[in-house]
Structure 1
Amino acid sequence: MCQSLPLPETEHANWASYQGGVPVRSHNQAAEHVQNDAYGEMILTVTPIFFDERYVDLRTKDLDTLLAYLAKLCVRSIGQPDAGLWEIRNGWQEHSFTNLMCRAGLERLERIKQAGHLGPISLDLTSARIHAADAILRGVQGGALRNGPTDFSNDAGLSQLPILGYPNRELCESTVLHITREPALRRGSEDTGFFYRYVREDDFGKPEAAFVICSFWIAQELARLGRTPEARAILDQVLLAANHVGLFSEHFIPATNSQWGNFPQAYSHVGLINAAFAVSPPWSDVL
Structure 2
Amino acid sequence: MKNSAPDIRIENLTIGYDGTPVVNNINATLPGGGVTVILGGSGCGKSTLLKNILRLNTPLGGAVFLGKHNILTLKRKAFRCLKQRIGVLFQDGALLGSLNLFDNVALPLREHTRLKSSEVSKVVKAKLNLVGLEPFVDYFPNELSGGMRKRAGLARAMVMDPDILFCDEPTSGLDPINSAELDELLLELKESFDMTIVVVSHDLASMKTIADHVLVLGEGTALFEGSKESLLATENPYLRQFLDRQGQKREAPRLTMPPLDPSVMKMDCTRYLGDQDNK
TM-score by shorter chain over 0.5: no
Using the size of structure 1 for normalisation, the TM-score is: 0.24
Q: Which has the higher helix share?
A: 1
More strand by share: 2
Structure whose alpha-carbon radius of gyration is higher: 2
